Amino acid sequence: MTDAPPANPTGAHRSGFVAIAGRPNVGKSTLVNALVAQKVSIVTAKPQTTRHRILGIVNRPGVQIVLVDTPGLHSNAKRALNRVMNRTATQAVSEADLNVFLSEGTRWLQEDQAALERVQRAGRPIIAVVNKVDRVRPTGRLLPFLAEHAKRAAFVDMVPVSALRATNLDRLLAVIAAQLPEAPPMYPAEQVTDRSERFLAAEIIREKLTLALSAELPYGLSVEIEAYETTPDGRVSIAAVIWVERKGQKAIVIGEKGERLKSVGRAARLELKGMLETPVYLELWVKIKENWADDERALRSLGYDAP
């Protein structure tokens, strides 16, 4: 990204909350990270990786854009965890100054339609963003899709992008900035997220677990930081518990002779070392909390938003 969004012609500063919403796995977290130009949300290929409301703050001359990364809006919400995620996303779009509705390439699924209807019910202005346009083949399929997409709602604008390739993100920032209210900055210029390093450490561990595991097991995992401190020699020492729902899951996470857990720990430690710019000592334990994803009280104790 090179060109900054234009400042307000009146000279006043613009600022506001912009929720990034859509069905699972359309690239919401990838888009937030690309716009912030820093990783504030974890990303995997598995749907519903994002479970929390996470802010990513973009500062440009004359504007502060507070992006709200949300869990994917989904219809199959049988478990308490899924219901909490849906409530978190719904509250975010209801409270935002502006909503960005994200969809994928030229794909339009029933779940996209259901998510769009939820965003429309919030009654906020909506920008349609079509992501992953770099994957559209042949490229001539894109224009008819955009024309049809424009009829689905009273969007204030539509922007095709590739979050992964950072394509057309300057235009998206400019379009967002033009829709925000005149207001002073809400966060210091150097701040890029509202989440603590402790929270980010838990998310990075969960990301590495999700990447290392297959099938449905990542959805039965949660990570809790039990201790986070800086040692006298400047290192960061982290102790984390990986919660699973059943005894069999514990064995899978640990792996034969503990190799999977060691591999996950190494990957998480290396990323944390780069993020914190200091050596990291990481201890991981795996414990069982039966059916935690079906228990809203357990979810609250593990730090999940329950608006």
| CA–CA dist 219, 201 (Å, integer) | 18
Are residues 139 and 223 both part of a single domain? no
Residue 145 has pLDDT above 70, yes or no: yes
Phi-psi region of 239 (alpha: psi -120 to 50; beta: other; left: phi over 0): beta
Facing residues of 299 across strands? Answer: none
Domain extent for 103: 14-179
Single residue among 121, 144, 179 that ends a domain in this structure: 179
Residue 95's CATH number: 3.40.50.300
Are residues 114 and 150 both part of a single domain? yes
146 in a domain, yes or no? yes
Residues 166-217 have pLDDT tens digits of 999 999 999 999 999 999 999 999 999 999 999 999 999 999 999 999 776 7
Residues 109-118 have pLDDT tens digits of 999 999 999 9
Average per-residue pLDDT for the chain: 93
How many independent structural domains does the chain possess? 2
Are residues 59 and 207 both part of a single domain? no
Structure letter (DSSP) for residue 73: P
Q: How many CA atoms lie within 13 A of 71 on its CB side?
A: 22
pLDDT of residue 47: 87
Are residues 106 and 166 both part of a single domain? yes
Confidence band for 36, pLDDT divided at 50, 70 and 90:
very high
Single residue among 132, 153, 179 that ends a domain in this structure: 179
Residue 156 has pLDDT above 70, yes or no: yes
Are residues 227 and 113 both part of a single domain? no
Q: Does the predicted TM-score (pTM) go above 0.85?
A: yes
